[in-house]
Structure 1
Amino acid sequence: ENSGTQNVEFLHKFNLHKNSVASLAFDKTGSMLASGGFDTYIIIYDIVDGASLYKLLGHKDIVTQLQFNSFSYLKSDKSIDQEERIIQSKKSRRHTDMLISSSKDASIKVWDLESQFCAQSIMDTNLKINCFSIIANLLITGSEDENLRVYKCGIKQEVDQNGHSYLSYAEFIGQIAKNSGEKTVEISLSPDNKFILVTSAHGQLDVLKMNTEKDIYKKLLRAEKRMARKRTHSEMEEKDAEESKAVIKVKVDKEKIKERVVDGDFEVKYLFSNSHSLEIPTCKVRSTQVFPHKKSYMIISSLHSNDLLAYSLNIDAE
């Protein structure tokens, strides 16, 4: 006899499903077992006593996954009065509060194990639900497409169209797009709940990180800094572009322009241009009188284009 099998003891045998079992789940105490089958049944067992307790009926196709879960009231939900909270908190539940199931009938169901009925049925897609996983207060489901659907878990009081109040346990909040366009096969979590592992058809594995509020704040802060740097860089480029396009305008005060008649031992050069060509004539000396001043006068005038034209009178007494 193999010594490795001496530590294993056979306890019970259950044969209540009509055909194959598709999913299994233990509660947190390890004493209660739930099984979901191809026959659409969910069966609850007592492992210690080796007895089946009851069946949960409601799904119309294969039950793909099961998980026990305890729900708490949402802190933001102020619609539930204090008396109702006290009543709910005093209720004694065996093992755990709720059981969540998914099925290829495109539905997710939340089962009340005390009353043995379906407390909520979520059917907001027509795609088969292959798997799901719960991380913190989020329920993440995988279907036949490239998206993961995310629900927020928590007890919240709602009112239907007829004005009747009821309790809601899961609310859809959004989708996560995978890199793969294939159907989701399995969703797993790392032990620290920081990473979500998603396997898809044809062997692709997506690794997603679960960000905390602190992580999200850091990401937003870094994004804001990047945007601020981009805005500053863009403003500087716009300023440089405006300066390069600017036309310098010189205002000439005609009252200050005076005609000068000069005699002396120097040359007077006049430069006139109404085009891009220049002519520089030379004047002969008519007198030996020395002009005592050393000044230059310049008038800057703008043509019809953006080019500038300068008329200058240079007086050199040397």
Structure 2
Amino acid sequence: GHTSTVNSLSFTPTGSHLASSSSDLSIKLWDFSTYTCIRTLRGHDHTISAVQFIPLPVKETSTRSLNTPSASNETTTVSATSLASSSSNANTGIDMSVAGSSYLASASRDQTVKIWDLETGFCDQTIKDHNDWVRCIGVRDSDGALMATSGNDTVIYVYDTTTKDRKQIAQLRGHQHVVEALSFLVSANHNHHKKNTQSEQKHFDSCMDYIASGGRDSTVRLWSINTSQCLAVFEYHENWVRGVLIHPSGNFIISTGDDRSIRVMDIKSNRCLRTIDNAHSHFVTSIAMHHTLPILVSGGVDQTVRCWALD
């Protein structure tokens, strides 16, 4: 395992593999069916703050699935040492059609963001736009087409991951302190199975352009990527904001932070609709939402993970 603090975790879209990043300067890829480490990625020069898998577009995933063995077949696992001595086109042990991802993004205190090719295990690109510690990454999980990064320099950079060089398409400025969290609209599988009305679909499509951020200035901000404008500022927290997400409906932002609360805010009216005070006994550092069930999970400095049922 790691030899220092684990700072971030990310599942592949299908849940088949897990990535972990650490202050030991390494990223480890784990086969979640066997709980074994199948590869260690190295290249950063300082603490790795965040990792995030970049999903394959749904159409591409389907196409790959038609041309690859079924998910029931066992994938070949290759250790980092054996891979180093094998041919350059050897299998990494991650079947992309099973994982639903072909790239991994990482952010570090060395001021860089790296994109890793899961087929080869090599760093495909190093992004050097930030001038300070990069603390967080957000990826639009519905199609993997957009990625955002931010940290101590307070600037949010947005990239088009469908271009070969991951072209920067926006710079979002407004936070007055370190940015700790980023989130695009959360993709929920159960939402895709219902038939939306025309107005609901239009609203959903517009929400795909949104990104939410939270920072040490105690604010949550909602941004339009197309215009690079801040659409709303939510000032309901009394301390650092550590986690944010945009609800799959596109109507709410859920946030948490060092005031130990979880808050649900209505985007349209900029009102705090629900507050869970003392959600944890210490700082709440992260939140995430289940992709198929109306369940929110939170984690904190009190060393607990808690599950919350959403109405």
Q: Which residue of 2 aligns with 1:283?
A: none
What CA distance in whole angstroms lies between the structure 1 residues aligned with 2:184 and 2:291? 17
1:100 is displaced (CA, Å) by 0.9
1:197 is displaced (CA, Å) by 1.5
Q: Which residue of 2 aligns with 1:204?
A: 304
What CA distance in whole angstroms lies between the structure 2 residues aligned with 1:41 and 1:179? 29
Change (3 A) 1:7 1:194: same
What CA distance in whole angstroms lies between the structure 1 residues aligned with 2:285 and 2:300? 5
What CA distance in whole angstroms lies between the structure 2 residues aligned with 1:15 and 1:178? 39
Q: Which residue of 2 aligns with 1:120?
A: 232
The answer on whether the counterparts of 2:247 and 2:253 sit within 8 Å (CA) in structure 1 is yes
1:175 maps to a residue whose letter is T
Structure with higher Rg: it is: 1
SS in 1 for 2:124: coil
What CA distance in whole angstroms lies between the structure 1 residues aligned with 2:174 and 2:279? 34
1:193 is displaced (CA, Å) by 3.0
User: Which residues of 2 match residues 107-256 of structure 1 at below 5 A?
Assistant: 107-137=219-249, 138-153=252-267, 156=268, 168=269, 170-178=270-278, 180-211=280-311
2:222 maps to a residue whose letter is V
* 5+ long unaligned stretches in structure 1: 71-84, 157-167, 212-318
The answer on whether the counterparts of 2:185 and 2:248 sit within 8 Å (CA) in structure 1 is no
2:132 corresponds to 1:32: no
Q: List structure 1 runs of 4+ shifted beyond 4 angstroms.
A: none
What CA distance in whole angstroms lies between the structure 1 residues aligned with 2:211 and 2:301? 27
1:189 is displaced (CA, Å) by 2.1
What CA distance in whole angstroms lies between the structure 2 residues aligned with 1:62 and 1:56? 13
1:146 is displaced (CA, Å) by 2.9
Q: Deviations over 1:192-244 (max 9, x none)?
A: 23322211113122222223xxxxxxxxxxxxxxxxxxxxxxxxxxxxxxxxx
Q: Which residue of 2 aligns with 1:53?
A: 169
What CA distance in whole angstroms lies between the structure 2 residues aligned with 1:135 and 1:33? 18
Task: Single out whichever of 134-143 and 26-35 deviates more from structure 2.
Answer: 134-143
What CA distance in whole angstroms lies between the structure 1 residues aligned with 2:144 and 2:129? 20
1:126 is displaced (CA, Å) by 3.1
Q: Which residue of 1 aligns with 2:211?
A: 99
2:226 maps to a residue whose letter is E
Q: Which residue of 2 aligns with 1:285?
A: none
Change (3 A) 1:178 1:133: farther
The answer on whether the counterparts of 2:287 and 2:297 sit within 8 Å (CA) in structure 1 is yes
The answer on whether the counterparts of 1:178 and 1:206 sit within 8 Å (CA) in structure 2 is no
Change (3 A) 1:133 1:111: closer
1:187 maps to a residue whose letter is I
* Alignment: residue pair count: 180
Q: Which residue of 1 aligns with 2:28?
A: none
TM, length-normalised to structure 2: 0.51
Specify which structure has the higher proportion of strand: 2
Q: Which has the higher contact order (CA 8 A, sep 6+)?
A: 2
What CA distance in whole angstroms lies between the structure 1 residues aligned with 2:123 and 2:281? 44
What CA distance in whole angstroms lies between the structure 2 residues aligned with 1:180 and 1:30? 32
Percent identity of equivalent pairs: 17
Q: Deviations over 1:39-91 (max 9, x none)?
A: 11100112232122231111111111111239xxxxxxxxxxxxxx99xx69x
1:106 is displaced (CA, Å) by 0.5
What CA distance in whole angstroms lies between the structure 1 residues aligned with 2:242 and 2:181? 8
2:137 maps to a residue whose letter is L
1:118 is displaced (CA, Å) by 0.8
Q: Deviations over 1:268-292 (max 9, x none)?
A: xxxxxxxxxxxxxxxxxxxxxxxxx
Change (3 A) 1:108 1:180: closer
TM, length-normalised to structure 1: 0.50
Specify which structure has the higher proportion of helix: 1
The answer on whether the counterparts of 1:135 and 1:193 sit within 8 Å (CA) in structure 2 is no
1:16 maps to a residue whose letter is D
The answer on whether the counterparts of 1:102 and 1:129 sit within 8 Å (CA) in structure 2 is yes
Q: Which residue of 1 aligns with 2:194?
A: none
SS in 1 for 2:302: helix
1:140 is displaced (CA, Å) by 1.8
2:132 corresponds to 1:19: yes
The answer on whether the counterparts of 2:237 and 2:257 sit within 8 Å (CA) in structure 1 is no
Q: Which residue of 2 aligns with 1:307?
A: none
SS in 2 for 1:7: coil
What CA distance in whole angstroms lies between the structure 2 residues aligned with 1:142 and 1:179? 9
1:19 is displaced (CA, Å) by 1.6
1:43 maps to a residue whose letter is Y
